[in-house]
Copies of this chain bind each other. A is one copy, B any other.
Amino acid sequence: MSQHPLRIQIEEIVTLSDAEFDRVLAHFQEKTFKKHQIVLHQGDYASFDFFVVKGLMRVSRVDPDGKEHILQFGMENWWITDAEAFHRQTKSTLTVDCLEDTKTLSLTLENKEKLSKEMPKMQTFFLKKTTNGYIALQKRILCFLSSNANDRYHNLLSLYPGLMQRVPKAMIASYLGVTRETLSRLTKVES
């Protein structure tokens, strides 16, 4: 009997009874999106934090020169949104869209805070997840500080081996902060 992926993730941090998990789940809305569908437009309010049940999303920004920068990918069991716009209820400076058909559980800020308040366990869960996210971002920054593009690429490879099969190399390059030409040269030298 397989458990719900969200429950599995929560129970890595705190334990829940069946009734408690049902109560948690009631705060989410299921939303599905098509490949290429834009889920959050730059300039709109970020109404939801998305837990990816199935599929692949990304958060990106196009700068004034028209260049696209990918801040984050979100595969199964990842949380994804414009964190600033969501938590501060301001207009988004980022775009969230789908690289594959995607099924999500969506949480409003209101429901997140309600959950946190009514179930301290859930606040503990959110705190732990956010702390882990913070640590991951620190590592990515250290990678920018101390590694060249080649090392960053191999670091990404080992961190998310499945990603390469699911997204074009140009997007990997964008995530790494280099042009696709540069990435192409790096992967060439390998052989």
> Contact residues of A with B, CB < 8 Å?
61, 63, 67, 69-71, 83-84, 87-88, 116, 120, 123-124, 126-127, 130-131, 133-135, 137-142, 144-146, 174, 177
CB of A98, distance to nearest CB on chain B (Å): 20
Query: Residue of B at shortest CB range from A127?
Result: B127
Among the interface residues A67, A139, A142, which one has the most CB atoms of the partner chain B within 10 A? A142
Copies, count: 2
* A contacts with B: majority SS: helix
Task: Give Cα A94 to B89, complex, Å.
Answer: 34
Select A146's contact among B63, B84, B130, B137, beta carbons within 8 Å. Answer: B63
Q: Are A141 and B138 in contact (CB under 8 A)?
A: no
Select A131's contact among B120, B130, B144, B177, beta carbons within 8 Å. Answer: B130
Task: Give Cα A142 to B63, complex, Å.
Answer: 10
Q: Are B141 and A71 in contact (CB under 8 A)?
A: yes
Residues of B within 8 A of A146 (CB): 61, 63, 67, 69
Query: Residue of B at shortest CB range from A61?
Result: B142
CB of A161, distance to nearest CB on chain B (Å): 21
CB of A95, distance to nearest CB on chain B (Å): 12
CB of A181, distance to nearest CB on chain B (Å): 16
Could you pull out 16 A-B pairs where Cβ atoms are within 8 angstroms? A61-B142, A69-B145, A69-B146, A70-B145, A71-B145, A83-B134, A83-B135, A84-B135, A87-B131, A123-B123, A130-B130, A134-B134, A137-B141, A140-B141, A141-B141, A145-B177
CB of A31, distance to nearest CB on chain B (Å): 23
Residues of B within 8 A of A131 (CB): 83, 87, 130
